[in-house]
Copies of this chain bind each other. A is one copy, B any other.
Amino acid sequence: ASNKKLLVLPGDGIGPEVMREAVRVMGWLEQNRAVRFDISEDLVGGASIDVHGVPIRDEVIAAARAADAVLFGSVGGPKWADVAFENRPEVAILRLRSELELFANLRPATVLDPLVGASTLKPEIVRGLDIMIVRETVGGVYFGEPRGIETLADGSQRGVNTEVYSTHEIERVARVAFELARKRQNRVCSVEKCNVMESGLLWRQVVTRLGRAEYPDVELSHMLADNCAMQLVRNPRQFDVIVTGNLFGDLLSDLASMLTGSLGMLPSATLGTADADGRRPALYEPIHGSAPDIAGTGKANPLAQIASLAMLLRYSLGLDDEAALIERACTNVLASGLRTPDIMSEGGTPVGTSGMGDAVLAEL
């Protein structure tokens, strides 16, 4: 098999620290399994602003397009709080999503048994939790036009954004959700605010029609976004796959992640459409942010970044065995009691970023 081209974008804050551990795991794979990588690395976010004046360069977008997959860290931090809106660190990830048309963000929220105590929710509510949120990521209010801030004659201002979804955009992300459900518990819950927003009403109609026509075997339900926020707290295990728009998905997937109490553990994948050769653009990133408060202290948990690599192996490279190997190594390390500060609990053995990386490699 030819070498796999990976683009590694560590970003800001703890991004580079946790990425280092993921890269070590790639090294292990090259030495011990039948897989070879061409790894290139570049700056994004604040790190790119500092050097190049922009959060992401066109060359980096092009490299991402040419790669088999992108492994992303995290961007942003207080250092860049006053950068102009068009040039803020977040533009790096927004441009990658938009220009590679990475429209489906897969965000698992799972509770591993050894970490059930890390949740602020009662163990009987979250034990065994396994939700997959499919969030649309290239449409909605994130990219809708018109947008901007205008100053009126009297000096007052108006800020405007546009929420817009088309049949096609809704169908393609719903399809991803239905397909995933078939490999899971076969249930999709579609979420919007159709009692207030016409874009949500169209969303519900399109998902309903698609479900009836192409996925009659998948159980489809609908929920208002405010109710979904409540139900995630009341009884999160009622959900299998949730599919929703960009903005609701942003809040609800973060909420679902926090139910697990272990943000530092959770990976995500963002997928585009396969081209004629079957190549599908894809980006993998931990769901945690750049955590500037602990950057440089060696305390960050690298497991979400390593788990993102495992997702990359599975979804982009078809290396299911290697993905499972890595996931098992992470679970075993946790079962042995090692804990970074974010998931520490009584009786755990404290360990830092590189110590956790060492343990995963030893386990492998």
Contact = CB atoms under 8 A, between A and B. Distances in A.
Interface stretch (A35-43, A225-233, A324-332): A225-233
Interface residues of A, number: 58
A160 B199 contact: yes
A234 interface: yes
Contact of A251 (B94, B144, B235, B251): B251
A34 interface: no
Nearest to A247: B193
Number of copies of this protein chain within its complex: 2
B195 A90 contact: yes
Interface stretch (A23-31, A161-169, A303-311): A161-169
B259 A233 contact: yes
A226 B251 contact: yes
A167 B157 contact: yes
A149 B201 contact: yes
A196 B144 CA distance: 11
A149 B255 contact: no
B162 A162 contact: yes
Interface stretch (A58-66, A118-126, A275-283, A333-341): A118-126
Contact of A159 (B196, B202, B229): B202
Nearest to A196: B142
Contacts of A198: 85, 147-149, 159-161
Nearest to A225: B251
A156 interface: yes
Interface string A219-256: 00000011101100111000000000001101110110
A158 interface: yes
A211 B140 CA distance: 31
- Residue of A121, A229, A257, A258 most packed against chain B (CB within 10 A): A229
Contacts of A121: 120-122, 233
A200 interface: yes
Given A255-B229, A258-B233, A193 B250 contact: yes
Interface in A165-202: 165-168, 193, 195-202
B251 A229 contact: yes
Contacts of A206: 157
A299 interface: no
A197 B141 contact: yes
A199 B159 contact: yes
Contact of A196 (B94, B165, B195): B94
Contacts of A147: 197-198
A257 B162 CA distance: 29
A103 interface: no
A187 to B, nearest CB: 20
A77 to B, nearest CB: 12
A226 to B, nearest CB: 4
Contact of A234 (B142, B235, B258): B258
Contact of A160 (B88, B164, B227, B255): B164
Contacts of A251: 225-226, 229, 248, 251
Given A122-B120, A257-B230, A165 B159 contact: yes
17 contacts: A94-B196, A120-B121, A120-B234, A142-B196, A147-B197, A147-B198, A156-B166, A159-B198, A159-B201, A159-B203, A160-B163, A161-B163, A229-B258, A230-B254, A230-B255, A230-B263, A234-B258
